[in-house]
Chain A
Amino acid sequence: MIAALAGDHNVRVVVLGAAMLGGACGIVGTFLTLRRRALVGDALSHAALPGIALAFLVGTATRFGGKSPLLLLLGGALGAIAGVGAMLLLRRASRLRDDAIVAAVLSVFFGAGIVLLSVIQGMRSGHAAGLESFIYGRAAAMVAADAWMLAIAAGTVVLVAVLLSKELRLLCFDEEFSKSIGWRPGVLDGVLMALVTIVTVAGMQAVGLILVVALQVIPAAAARCWSDRLSHCVAIAAAIGAASGAVGAVVSAAAPAWPSGAVIVLVAAACLLVSLVFGSARGACWRWIAHWRSTRRVAVEHLLRTLYELEEAASTEAPGEGVAYATIAATRRFRGGELRGGGLHAAIRRARRLGLVRSGAADTIVLTSAGRLESEQLTARHRLWEHYLIERAGIAPTHVDRSADLVEHVLSPELLARVARSLGAATAAAAPSSPHQIERPDASMRSAPRDPRPAPPRDDPR
Chain B
Amino acid sequence: MRRDTAHGRDSGLGPSSGAELGAEHSPDAALCIHDLSVAYRGQPVLWDVDLDIPRGSLVGLVGPNGAGKSTLLRAVLEMIPRLSGEIRVLGRPLREARRSIAYVPQRESVDWDFPVRVLDVVAMGLYGRIGWFRRVRRQHRALALEALDRVGMADLAERQISQLSGGQQQRTFLARALVQDAELSLLDEPLAAVDAATEEAIVGILRELRSRGRTMLVVHHDLPTAPLYFDRIVLLNQRVVAEGPTATVFTAENLRRTYGGSLTILSDAAAALGARGGMP
Give A contacts to B, CB under 8 Å.
34, 163-167, 169-170, 172-174, 176-183, 224, 227-230, 232-233
Contact = CB atoms under 8 A, between A and B. Distances in A.
A164 B77 contact: no
A227 B130 CA distance: 26
A170 to B, nearest CB: 5
B128 A181 contact: yes
Contacts of B136: 166
A166 B117 contact: no
Given A173-B114, A173-B121, A181-B103, 11 more contacts: A172-B114, A173-B110, A176-B103, A176-B110, A177-B105, A177-B124, A181-B98, A181-B127, A182-B128, A228-B116, A229-B160
B18 interface: no
Nearest to A177: B105
Given A224-B115, A228-B160, A182 B127 contact: no
Contacts of A229: 115-117, 120, 160
A178 B105 CA distance: 11
A180 B116 contact: no
Contacts of A232: 115
Contact of A176 (B95, B105, B128, B162): B105
13 contacts: A34-B115, A166-B130, A169-B116, A169-B120, A170-B124, A173-B114, A176-B79, A180-B77, A180-B103, A181-B127, A182-B128, A183-B128, A230-B120
Contacts, number: 72
A24 B130 CA distance: 27
Given A176-B105, A182-B95, A182-B98, A230 B116 contact: yes
Contacts of B111: 173
B71 to A, nearest CB: 13
A183 B162 CA distance: 26
Given A163-B133, A166-B136, A167-B132, A177 B103 contact: yes
A201 B142 CA distance: 42
Nearest to A36: B111
A165 B136 CA distance: 10
Contacts of A177: 103, 105, 124, 176
A34 B114 contact: yes
Interface residues of B, number: 27
Contacts of B103: 176-177, 180-181
Contacts of A183: 128
B135 interface: yes
Contacts of A172: 114
B83 to A, nearest CB: 18
Contacts of A182: 95, 98, 128
B101 interface: yes
A62 B133 CA distance: 43
B112 to A, nearest CB: 10
Most chain B CB atoms below 10 A, which of A163, A167, A177, A229 = A177
A277 to B, nearest CB: 19
Given A179-B77, A181-B128, A182-B128, A174 B110 contact: yes
| Majority secondary structure of chain A interface residues (helix, strand, loop or mixed) | helix
B109 interface: yes
Nearest to A185: B79
Contacts of B133: 163-164
B124 A174 contact: yes
Contacts of A164: 132-133
Contacts of B105: 174, 176-177, 180
A145 B117 CA distance: 42
A180 B117 contact: no
Interface string B127-144: 110101101100000000
Interface in B68-98: 77, 79, 95, 98
Given A166-B136, A173-B124, A180 B79 contact: yes
Contact of A179 (B79, B116, B162): B79
Interface in B128-185: 128, 130, 132-133, 135-136, 160, 162, 176
Contacts of B132: 164, 167
Contacts of A227: 115
A180 B101 contact: yes
Contacts of B176: 177
A163 B134 CA distance: 7
Contacts of A179: 77, 79
Nearest to A165: B135
Contacts of B120: 169, 229-230
Contacts of A180: 77, 79, 101, 103, 105
Nearest to A234: B115
A158 to B, nearest CB: 15
A176 B110 CA distance: 9
Interface string B214-237: 000000000000000000000000
A181 B125 CA distance: 9
A71 B77 CA distance: 45
A228 B163 CA distance: 11
- Sorted from nearest, which 3 A-B pairs have the closest CB atoms? A180-B103, A181-B128, A228-B160
A38 to B, nearest CB: 14
B192 to A, nearest CB: 16
Contact of B115 (A165, A176, A228): A228
A179 B124 CA distance: 12
A180 B121 CA distance: 15
B109 A176 contact: yes
Nearest to A163: B133
B137 to A, nearest CB: 11
A62 to B, nearest CB: 41
B80 to A, nearest CB: 9
A133 to B, nearest CB: 36
B147 to A, nearest CB: 15
Most chain B CB atoms below 10 A, which of A163, A170, A178, A233 = A170
A167 B124 CA distance: 9
Nearest to A173: B114
A443 to B, nearest CB: 49
A385 to B, nearest CB: 20
B127 A170 contact: yes
A54 B9 CA distance: 38
Nearest to B123: A166
A159 B98 CA distance: 29
B110 to A, nearest CB: 5
A229 B109 CA distance: 20
Nearest to A180: B103
Contacts of B98: 181-182
A182 to B, nearest CB: 5
Contacts of B77: 179-180
B79 A174 contact: no
